[in-house]
Amino acid sequence: MDTIETIHLGKTTIVGGGETPRTFMPISRLARRLFESFAAWLQKRETRGTLRYLTDDELRDIGLTRREAMTEVSKSFFWD
């Protein structure tokens, strides 16, 4: 047998023929990171949208002015 595939704690290591073992990132980790990034983006989007409907008293409670809130709401789609 030329190549032996072994799975250890979510990582696949391929060993064989005197080569140095190579470790690959499992696709599930990449998918999880993409999902987490998308979820964070959705949460920011929802929070920014909520700012639009807060009263001046509510904005004052969280330490923002109407102008600061509208600046945040109007940020670009790709803004962090």
pLDDT at position 1:
45
The pLDDT, as a whole number, for residue 24 is 58
- Find how far residue 4's CA is from the centre of its chain: 34
Averaged pLDDT for residues 50-76: 91
Could you tell me which residue, 5 or 59, shows the higher pLDDT? 59
Instruction: Look up residue 60 and give its amino acid.
Output: R
Quote the CA–CA distance of 35 and 26 in Å, as a whole number: 15
What digits encode the pLDDT tens for the residues 9-59?
455 555 555 555 556 556 788 888 999 989 988 888 888 888 889 999 999
Q: Which residue has the higher pLDDT, 19 or 74?
A: 74
